[in-house]
Amino acid sequence: MRAAVVNNPEMPPVCAEFADPEPLPGREPLTLVGAGVHNVVRGIAAGRHYRSANRYPMVPGIDAVARTSDGRLVYTAFAQVPWGTMAERMATPLGLDLPAGADPLAVAAGINPGASGWIVLADRRKEVGALGTVLVLGATGMSGGMAVQSALALGAERVIATGRDPEALDRLRGFGATTVSIAGAGPDTLATALGAAVAEAPPALVLDYLWGPVAEAALAAFGTDSKPDDNTPGIAYVQIGSLAGDTAAVPAPLLRSRRIRLTGSGAGSFTKEQMIAVIPDVMAHLADGSLEAPYTAYPLSRVEQAWAHQGRTRAVVVPD
């Protein structure tokens, strides 16, 4: 079969012949409709991600929309290494029917970035009953932007969105978010800007797609004032991405003086069953337009261009 093939971690994939995937018991082979080129896909292929198997050659891709032999469109994932989803055929243990009216390529583009925020928001709402104010760090990327939309769809009272892209911030304001630009801001300036944004309504939940110095500035913005008699649930700070850096200093006084809980979200922090459970909700909101996942489609023969794609849309690999 034709597939995107990564031959070594230093090079982008090429379109080449690759062995058909080994069939799974009780599961029929699926044919590709569209597979998103997500940041995690690039990281795994390059050996930089904790899920990297470092086994080459390999087919990249962690999820896709595919077609069954009887013509149904399904969302699928969890292909076995060295097979991924950027191939004409795939054998996977998951097949969730797309809702009526859903754009299959928007689903291929949007489930991975959209579910990253949705699962955290839904889990928090289930835990404490309401979302309150949500702060999204890195909201002008695809994942962060969808997290803003998800927070509003799930009933957040206020959403504060930070990012560098002014056009994307304008779009998020149109959805109803309060925005804070961090373009060119140093640590002190950023902490001041974030402090002003959170002073009126301190966040109950932080979704951090950046980490590094941006996280340090956000933590500094929270200050060390505490209200030990306050019955509010405190701050849940969830680390999701690390586009600004892999490490961040966490001040000890903050942890002692504020009710703040620092956790992460990714493969391993939620079970596979928990991750699968939110996918129908994300698909439904993609179908009704309350979540938007803009995409640019590339045929499999142009996978190198898809791999290099940048901008406000998500690259999606489709059959030629």
List, for residues 284-308, the tens digit of each pLDDT value.
Answer: 999 999 999 999 999 999 999 999 9
- % the chain with pLDDT above 70: 97
Locate 187 and state its tokens.
């640590």
Domain boundaries, the chain: 2-97+290-318, 112-264
What pLDDT, on a 0 to 100 scale, did the predictor assign at position 43? 92
pLDDT, tens digit, 9 for 90 and up, residues 244-282:
899 999 989 888 888 899 999 987 888 889 999 999 999
pLDDT of 56-113, one tens digit each? Answer: 999 999 999 999 999 999 999 999 999 999 999 999 999 999 999 999 999 999 999 9
Of 221, 290, 280, 236, residue with least CA distance to 121:
236
User: d(Cα 289, Cα 204) in Å, to the nearest integer?
Assistant: 27
Over residues 173-197, the mean pLDDT reads 85
The CATH classification number of 2-97+290-318 equals 3.90.180.10
- In CATH terms, 112-264 corresponds, of 3.40.50.11540, 3.40.50.300, 3.40.50.720, 3.40.50.970, to 3.40.50.720
Give the CA-trace dihedral at 192, 195, 199, 203, to 10 degrees.
Answer: 160
